[in-house]
Amino acid sequence: MSEIQVIDNFLSEEHFEGLQVIFGSHIPWTYSVVLEDDHLICDQKYNYQYVHGVYTKQEPVSPYFDKIIPLLTKLDARALVRCKVNSICREEEIVVHGFHTDMQYPEEHSTGLDGMKTAILYLNTNNGFTCFEDGTKVESVANRCVIFPAHYKHSGTTCTDVHRRVALNLVYL
């Protein structure tokens, strides 16, 4: 899985600071499961997160969509498929949720996505991480971006050292 890129200080300080609006108390969050049961490897009681949708079904769904434009530019994204912010609450121990892809498609087509990628931009530093089936582990560091082919299975985790783990997740071409 050599196609996994990890880039620190991905956005300029100014653009990254613009994304910090997501930590405001006025942001609407939706309670959601992290994974469907067939991908879940942790106890069901840990299968929750809060999500703020940014872009879905070919349209912006957040008043803060403009805050991700510098990220899309830096990624050289030609088409945005989906963008959301995940907020996963602190637990007493690190919990790995389960390996999955961010878009659902038949397994026989999973390698023919011709350029579709997933990018995760960590919005805060914590001891959570993203891991991949091959054992690669990317720690959650503020303004670190991990970019990989959309068909790579990965898993997020909880954290234990801060109130919540927050990451912006995009699927794009």
10-residue averages of pLDDT along the chain (173 residues) = 89 97 94 85 91 96 96 96 97 95 66 80 98 96 97 96 98 96
Residue 129 burial class via C-beta count within 10 angstroms: exposed 0-12, middle 13-18, buried 19 and up: buried
Sign, CA dihedral 86-89-92-97, equals: negative
Q: Can you tell me the distance from the alpha carbon of 138 to that of 136, in angstroms, rounded to the nearest whole number?
A: 7
Identify the pLDDT of residue 158: 97
The residue type of 167 is A
Which distant-in-sequence residues (6+ apart) come within 8 Å of 97 by Cβ? Answer: 34, 35, 40, 41, 42, 46, 47, 155, 156, 157
Identify the pLDDT of residue 113: 58
